[in-house]
Amino acid sequence: MRDAGRIEAAIRVLNEIESARRPSRLALKAWSDSARYAGSGDRAFVAGLVLDALRRRRSAAWCMGSDTPRGAVLGVLALHWGWPADRIAAAFAEAPHGPGALDADEQAHLARPIDISGATDAVAADLPDWLAPAFARVFGDRVRTEGEALARRAPVDLRVNTLKSDPARALRAAGPLGAHPVPDLPLTLRIDPPQAAQRTPSVESLPAFLKGGIEIQDAGSQIAADCAGDIKGAQVLDLCAGGGGKTLALAAAMASTGQVYAYDSDARRLADTVRRGERAGVRNLQVRTPLRPDPLKDLEGRMDLVFIDAPCSGSGAWRRHPDTKWRLTPEALTRRQADQDAVLDAGVLYVRPGGRMIYVTCSVLAEENEDRVAAFLARRPDFHILPATDAPHLLPRLTAEGYLRLTPATSDTDGFFVAVLARADGRTPA
């Protein structure tokens, strides 16, 4: 495919996402299935342009004076892909596959110096207007910086599975794909984000991945699991296990001692956990499915640690799932807060006296983070906050309360929030 056809395909996919409110993953798959003539490079170009247009939708459209998929694509090509105006004009005008020649207004916008300094914070940070106050509450005068970082492409991070490998072996295996160590994270390797129109290397094809020596997991997610501390020999419940990424990280930290239980209220999310656990060499994992009656009844009051990777807005992962930024609504955020309150209250059932509960979200919003923990502590005075980490390189990321907040701008990870809550041991003070 020539550039003209690729750009036209990207605009069509964006129109489908917008008009049908279809997730980008499904819209791109539908296009790919229908475009059998497209090669791997074509698919990488179209997917990259679609996702970049979603990441930068407001700032790109503002630069072009047009809040449409076509305007966003034009803005991304000029502002972020670095295409000169004549190349853009030629691709759009190319018949019969281009999106159509630029009109006079589009030509005028492309001819101007690109500058978003006069835009509102919400536009410059690529946020919906209604979320700008929530960002200002958390980040103050750093709204633009934090929003811009959440609109960049994300790297591929790998976790070295110490049950089957070590950092040196993993680096030798993944090095040919461009993987390199991450400072202060000895079990993390990183493949930097691809350039515009380039494909991300296929980690899943590596023998080291197929044999369980490495896992794909964002560094922020790895850090959140590390906040469990020394859990060798412990009884651990991952209450919202999902696909099992943090479950496997916890199991590796336990070095096949103790027991880790994986549960999720949606049984479908647990489908891959057993398979992934076997590949990773985990021998202390029990998957508890909600399809059984009272699947966690025998764990009540027994857990040294209950790990809660709570359902959330996913605002911390907008780099990877940019369409969710525009689908989020105030009503959906309110529902998520209710879910978070419910799962915190459910987790209490399993924490033994003197045990801990770790509350994690991949959100940067205080409404899902500090507010939820504060509300929980008001309901449960038998719990108190512990510092989320004592790792020296992470201490600057601790809040005054002792919570851990990670963002792409401050820690070069996805956005995460971690609160460690300890339960009183029940003994009467002397």
Which of 53, 62, 39 lies closest to 7 in space, CA to CA?
53
What is the average per-residue pLDDT within 151-169?
Answer: 97
Give pLDDT tens digits for 397-409.
999 999 999 999 9
**Enclosing domain of residue 229:** 220-423
How far apart (Å, rounded) are the C-alpha atoms in residues 24 and 50? 8
126 is in an annotated binding site: no
- For residues 258 and 305, state if they share a domain: yes
63 is catalytic: no
- Burial degree of 389 (CB within 10 A; 0-12, 13-18, 19+): buried
Which of 62, 65, 52 lies closest to 6 in space, CA to CA?
52
DSSP state, 160? E
Give pLDDT tens digits for 265-315.
999 889 889 899 999 999 999 999 999 999 999 999 999 999 999 999 999
Give pLDDT tens digits for 161-190.
999 999 999 999 999 999 999 999 999 999
The pLDDT value given to residue 38: 85
How far apart (Å, rounded) are the C-alpha atoms in residues 76 and 243? 33
The pLDDT value given to residue 196: 79
The pLDDT value given to residue 171: 98
141 inside domain: no
Inform me whether the pLDDT recorded for 429 exceeds 70: no
Do the Cβ atoms of 214 and 173 come closer than 8 Å?
Answer: yes
Give pLDDT tens digits for 21-78.
889 999 999 999 888 888 889 999 999 999 999 999 999 999 999 999 999 999 999 9
How far apart (Å, rounded) are the C-alpha atoms in residues 232 and 239? 19
371 is in an annotated binding site: no
Total number of domains constituting the chain? 3
The pLDDT value given to residue 427: 67
206 inside domain: yes
CATH of the domain at 191: 3.30.70.1170
- For residues 93 and 37, state if they share a domain: yes
Task: Report the chain's mean pLDDT, rounded to a whole number.
Answer: 95
- For residues 246 and 362, state if they share a domain: yes
Which of 389, 377, 390 lies closest to 421 in space, CA to CA?
377
- For residues 233 and 324, state if they share a domain: yes
The pLDDT value given to residue 117: 84
- For residues 213 and 242, state if they share a domain: no
Distance of CA 7 to the CA centre of its chain: 27
CATH of the domain at 316: 3.40.50.150
Give pLDDT tens digits for 231-251.
999 999 999 998 899 999 999
The pLDDT value given to residue 200: 86
Name the β-bridge partners of 259: 235
The pLDDT value given to residue 430: 43
